[in-house]
Structure 1
Amino acid sequence: MSHRQLAASGLEVAFGQRRVLRGASLEVPSGQRLALLGANGSGKTTLLRTLAGSVRPGAGEVLVDGGTLAFDRAGLKSHRQVVQLVAQNPDDQLFAADVFRDVSFGPLNLGLGEAEVRQRVDHALAVLSIEDLAERPIHELSYGQRKRVAIAGALAMEPCVMLLDEPTAGLDPQGVDEMVAALESLRAAHTTVVISTHDVDFALWWADRVAVLVDGVVHHGDPVAMLSDADLVASARLRRPLVLEAAAQLGVDPTGVTDIAGLVAAVLADAAA
């Protein structure tokens, strides 16, 4: 599903006198995992909503395969079959009585037949490992389960790109593990995945690329290179990932250091040199 290329060019978004995005540009690598980082209020959610077509920029473009998104009924309907946004709070998206009906809502609105809708719902539930919840009332689900159901509802639209706003926020450790498994299942299903997060350690380990929002502008690139940049990380009101901080303190080359195993390998390589 990840054959389409999503990008933004020169996005300007303001709410009243407050400018949130100031010429923000970003390329979302097709078929890869991108983590969007920034402080509270930096514009992460606004950028995701703009990429999804939910916010119309005052200037700049949202592009799919180089074509500009048209903010009219036809353009947005087409765009939402390519790009789906999952909000941080699942209760902003879930409204049906049970899981199956909620996940089937989007495909039904596309005018698909009953057999096709059922196939899409069954597939989405299987990818998220929540087949057993199909007939469960929404109000009986845990917070983590509701988050995964919201993702399943977006996945049932068979988008090329999934945008997830703080998918691990508010989850306990087991819920985080389940969400990470869900994110990996999305990638295995050939879906491009973009998440916003404050967790720099997770972003370093999980993402193929990272984007850092500072003063309404996006800086993006290789996770190690970006998150090793002390000035950039400080300007974004973040911190360097612990393994990169340790690599800096030990004076070893951080290339390839995304977790403890990578740090140990870097230390051993430095000692052997």
Structure 2
Amino acid sequence: MSHRTLRADNLVAYYSVDTPVLKGASLQIRPARRLALLGANGSGKSTLLSCLAGSTQPKSGTVLVDGEPLRYTRRGLRDHRQAVQLVLQDPNDQLFSADVAQDVSFGPTNLGLPPTEVRERVSEALDLLGLEHLRRKPTHHLSYGEKKRVAIAGALAMQPCVLLLDEPTAGLDPQGVDEMVEAVISLERHDTTIVIATHDVAFALEWADDAAVMCDGAVTTGDPRNLLGNEALLSSARLKQPWSLRLANALSERGMVPANSRPRTVEEMTRLLCGEHAEMIL
């Protein structure tokens, strides 16, 4: 898959006639980068992803792929969805076929691809997400975490350049979260640009190359360390700073670590606190 740049320029969209949810939202998704889209429930994350995927046409503004505006014709949307795929938060909104393989094959089949290529795409997607053993299992017999991964496999079988994941870890237990993160990492090895909408700031800080925070219908973008270190911005977006940044701030105020220390992971925090002894602990 080739990497492509996906961009939203000044999108305006409404929940209803008199309730705007996007108020001039702009966002650039750079190729081969991990982007975390953060915001509280109801902030417009899902609406923005839906606009980027072509599922929702904004009232105004433009969605572009490599500088070319999205055309809301049957042909334009068909072409767009081969480049950009959206996986919804609730997999039950996406899974409808009798078994896993049939569900994953739905998109490629509707592209009119030869049966041999459809089978190859299905096998590749199932293998990449560790689902081959569930190939013939009825979708209604899957666990919630399995359903989420099957929904991602169905999107991946379309071989998109950009994959938009809406709250992929929501509703999962800790093991399910770990499995989902591993699945996402495997997608990156498959040369797919990943966007994850979430309100989990700790996950975003550790995982993302770029971050975007939604607040009052607009988007603020930047480096995760800087953006998630902006307490005023996060407060207005109804989010909390990640634990590692809160701890580093508290320690820096007491002179225990250098000012502006912004560890992203447990490993970085250990090195910050333990210095040359960190490797013995890690």
TM category (shorter chain) comes to over 0.9
Q: Does the Cα contact within 8 Å between 2:162 and 2:195 map onto a contact in 1?
A: yes
Q: What is aligned with 2:232?
A: 231
CA distance in 1, matches of 2:173, 2:192: 26
Question: Out of 257, 262, 266, which is 1:260 matched to?
Answer: 266
Q: What is aligned with 1:65?
A: 66
Shift of 1:40: 0.9
CA distance in 2, matches of 1:268, 1:95: 52
Q: Does the Cα contact within 8 Å between 1:37 and 1:196 map onto a contact in 2?
A: yes
Secondary structure of the structure 2 residue equivalent to 1:205: helix
TM-score (norm 2): 0.93
Shift of 1:265: 2.2
Q: What is aligned with 1:4?
A: 4
Shift of 1:261: 1.5
Q: Does the Cα contact within 8 Å between 2:63 and 2:70 map onto a contact in 1?
A: yes
CA distance in 2, matches of 1:228, 1:256: 8
Q: Does the Cα contact within 8 Å between 2:188 and 2:194 map onto a contact in 1?
A: yes
Q: Does the Cα contact within 8 Å between 1:35 and 1:210 map onto a contact in 2?
A: yes
Q: What is aligned with 1:46?
A: 47
CA distance in 2, matches of 1:70, 1:210: 27
Q: What is aligned with 2:111?
A: 110
Q: Does the Cα contact within 8 Å between 2:249 and 2:261 map onto a contact in 1?
A: no
CA distance in 1, matches of 2:37, 2:197: 4
Aligned counterparts, 1:1-273, within 5 A = 1-14=1-14, 15-251=16-252, 252-254=258-260, 257-268=263-274
Aligned-pair identity (%) = 57
Q: Does the Cα contact within 8 Å between 1:42 and 1:213 map onto a contact in 2?
A: yes
Shift of 1:257: 1.3
What is the CA deviation profile of residues 38-92 of structure 1, one whole-angstrom value per residue up to 9, with x for unaligned ones?
A: 0111000000000000110111100000010011111100000000000000010
Secondary structure of the structure 1 residue equivalent to 2:82: coil
What is the CA deviation profile of residues 2-59 of structure 1, one whole-angstrom value per residue up to 9, with x for unaligned ones?
A: 5111010000111211110011100001111111100111000000000000110111
| Structure 2 spans left out of the alignment, 5+ residues | 253-257, 276-282
Q: Does the Cα contact within 8 Å between 2:248 and 2:261 map onto a contact in 1?
A: no
CA distance in 1, matches of 2:272, 2:221: 24
Distance of aligned partners of 1:139 and 1:229 in 2 relative to their CA distance in 1, 3 Å threshold: same
TM-score (norm 1): 0.96
Distance of aligned partners of 1:256 and 1:186 in 2 relative to their CA distance in 1, 3 Å threshold: farther
| Structure 1 spans left out of the alignment, 5+ residues | none
Q: Which runs of 4+ in 1 moved over 3 A?
A: 252-256
